[in-house]
Amino acid sequence: MSQRHRSHDVAPPPRMDLRAHAHNERHRINSELHAVAAQVSSGYAPDEVHEPGRAWVPTHHHDAERGRAKRTPNLKHWKVKAWKRRSAVRRQKAQAFRLIAEQA
């Protein structure tokens, strides 16, 4: 298995704990949304009701330093040599479809 995304400096938290925490967070949000729906259906204006948001996210979702360290500057991976060739093929297909549509 690939090791490039694993850091040997810090031990990651157990996977079961992360999954349990994420499950509890989803359950909390769904419960609060159900309460919001009940309040709106009972007559509250939607603008007056507090909408729940995420209170917990895994660390890799909000660790800015980790994102800056892993970022590769000016890497345009979509600009490959086949890019022009692919767009030319698309253009040819579109012209073929137009010709077929004009003949029919």
pLDDT digits 0-9 by tens, 25-65:
999 999 999 999 999 999 999 888 888 888 777 766 667 77
Judge whether 6 lies within some domain.
Answer: no
What six digits make up the tokens of 39? 């309040």
DSSP state of 42: T
Overall pTM > 0.75? no
Judge whether 22 lies within some domain.
Answer: yes
Judge whether 56 lies within some domain.
Answer: yes
Judge whether 1 lies within some domain.
Answer: no
Output b/e per residue, 15-38; b: 16+ Cβ within 10 A. Answer: eeeeeeeeeeeeeeeeeeeeebee
- Across the chain, mean pLDDT equals 79
Judge whether 7 lies within some domain.
Answer: no
Judge whether 51 lies within some domain.
Answer: yes
Supply the range of the domain harboring residue 61: 15-72+79-103
Number of structural domains in the chain: 1
Instruction: Give the model's pLDDT for residue 86.
Output: 74
Give the DSSP H or E segment for 15.
Answer: helix 15-41
Judge whether 67 lies within some domain.
Answer: yes
Q: Do residues 66 and 60 lie in contact, with contact meaning Cβ atoms separated by under 8 Å?
A: yes
